[in-house]
Amino acid sequence: MQHEHKFGFATRAIHAGTPPDPATGSRAAPIYQTAAYVFGSTEQAAELFALRSYGHIYSRISNPTVAAFEERMASLEGGLGAIAFSSGLAAQLCTVLSLAQAGDHLVCAQNVYGGTVTQLSVTVKRMGIETTFVSAENPDEARAAIRPETKFVFVETIGNPSGVVADLQAFARVAHEAGVPLVVDNTFATPYLCRPIELGADIVLHSATKFINGHGTAIGGVLVESGKFPWTNGRFPLLDTPSLGYHGKVFTETFGEYAFLMRTRAEVSRDVGAAMSPMDAWLMLLGLETLELRMDRHVRNARAVVAFLRDRPEVAWVRAPQMGSVFTFGLRGGREAGQRFIDALELWSHLANIGDAKSLVIHPASTTHSQLSDEELRLAGVAPESIRLSVGLEDVDDLLWDLDTGLRAVVSS
């Protein structure tokens, strides 16, 4: 048997999806800033539209620069393929629409990003798809919540902002026992710190805006699928019965393991129209090249910041997960003290994002999670006084200097 060389993570983060441009030899990935692509012949056009050949038709469905980013993400997550979207929430909505329709049901961890809770509990619910929210710390709750019409179980690798790390293997067992896929939002961990597919997940989602982009320069999302889930198990008629959106094609028969990815792109992404732009895909590709270097430093800086805060008398509590560089803490003096702290900072940017090279700070209860009720906030693990930090790549002494200024402002007023 011939030996196949396996390329490492950093190599794939730089090379996967981007061989030299076949048209020009350009070594950097070209930005194919075009809406549409000329057909070679009328026969070729018909073959493309019928999904019998591969090629680009229109950039709402696929684009060479975006495809390069998708392939690189699939490689890094260990998946069969990927589809990029204009945002993480668009990736998530298209996952829902790929698998569920009116009358169906989803199970979701309750400690997830506030925008996810609202998307599922308000907008998706309005489409007739109901979601049961369960604890991310107890997979048995998810098991009990699964119904015959449930289409997937959804968790975040690291809850935003609670920091709860989900036991992905346990959630995968619960989902698979019931014949449904496990969908994991891996935004906070990135494929460098955790690869959910290796732990049993079937679909991995990202807000690519965060660590993947890494510099806060573009909004984007991506879905990666393992290709291992048995979509023909009888629970997913959208995949294994004739498609109304594709003149009767049965995707599982025609595309085998590629059925989910092909249908999500050709039907769902096509119809929703939330494609990633070529320019944004190029920024994501550039960001990924340094993912490993950046994550090592993000984590190193975060550990120093956590240790610093734990030693300070002004700090009531610090809740930091075992991995990543985003976490929350609370000040003695509660919410008002938190506001004084944030207002006194010079270097940390007060804004609603994470995963930037720049260090970021926010008060979730009044911003990212402000649409949640008090009860939902409690279940999400967001205390009224919680302050969320996303530790960046600056000199750690400068970060600690600024935090010290903030903490002094709390005491002095």
Partner 1 sequence: MILSTPAQIRELLARVRTVAMVGASSNPLRPSYTVFSYLRTQTPYDVTPINPTLTGIDGIEAFPTIAAYAEQRGAPDVVDVFRKPSEVVGVVNDAIAAGAKAIWFQYGVINDEAIALADRAGLDVVVDRCMKVEHARFRGGLSMNGLNSGLITSRRR
- Residues making contact with partner 1 (CB under 8 A): 1-2, 4, 7, 11-12, 15-17, 19-20, 22, 25, 27, 43-44, 47, 50-56, 62, 64, 66-71, 74-75, 79-84, 242, 247-250, 253-258, 261-262, 265
Whole-number minimum distance, CB 256 to partner 1, in Å?
4
Phi-psi map region of 67: left, alpha, beta (phi>0 left; psi -120 to 50 alpha): alpha
Peptide linkage before 161 cis (omega within 30 of 0):
yes
| Edge-to-edge order in the sheet of strand 387-390 | 315-319, 326-331, 387-390, 360-362, 349-350
Beta-strand runs (E) in 197-340: 203-207, 221-225, 315-319, 326-331
Q: Are 213 and 355 in contact (CB under 8 A)?
A: yes
Shortest Cβ distance from residue 19 to partner 1 (Å)?
5
Cβ nearer to partner 1, comparing 141 with 257: 257
Among the listed residues 33, 13, 67, 61, the one whose alpha carbon sits nearest the alpha carbon of residue 272: 61
Question: Which is it for strands 315-319 and 326-331: parallel, antiparallel or unpaired?
Answer: antiparallel
Nearer to partner 1, 21 or 167 (CB): 21
Find the shortest distance in angstroms from Cβ 64 to partner 1: 7
Closest contact distance (angstroms) between CB of 80 and partner 1 is 6
Non-local CB neighbours of 5 within 8 Å, separated by 6+ positions: none
Q: Which is nearer to partner 1, 242 or 273 (CB)?
A: 242
Q: Which residues pair with 134 in a beta bridge?
A: 109
Min dist CB 395 to partner 1, Å, is: 35
Tokens of 357: 């090279």
Q: How far is the CB of 183 from partner 1 (least distance, A)?
A: 18
Nearest distance from C-beta of residue 270 to partner 1, angstroms? 13
Specify the residue, 261 or 362, whose C-beta has the smaller distance to partner 1. Answer: 261
Among residues 154 and 260, whose Cβ is nearest to partner 1?
Answer: 260
Q: How many CA atoms lie within 13 A of 50 on its CB side?
A: 7
Long-range own/partner contacts, residues 51-59 (CB < 8 A, 24 or more apart): 51/246, 51/249, 51/254, 51/262, 51/266, 59/32, 59/34, 59/35, 59/275, 59/278
Residue 250 or 411: which CB sits closer to partner 1? 250
Q: Which is nearer to partner 1, 105 or 265 (CB)?
A: 265
* Cβ proximity to partner 1, 208 vs 320, nearer residue: 208
Longest Cα separation, the chain? 76
For residues 46 and 48, give the distance between their C-alpha atoms in angstroms, rounded to a whole number.
Answer: 5
Q: Compute the least distance from the CB of residue 70 to partner 1, in Å.
A: 3
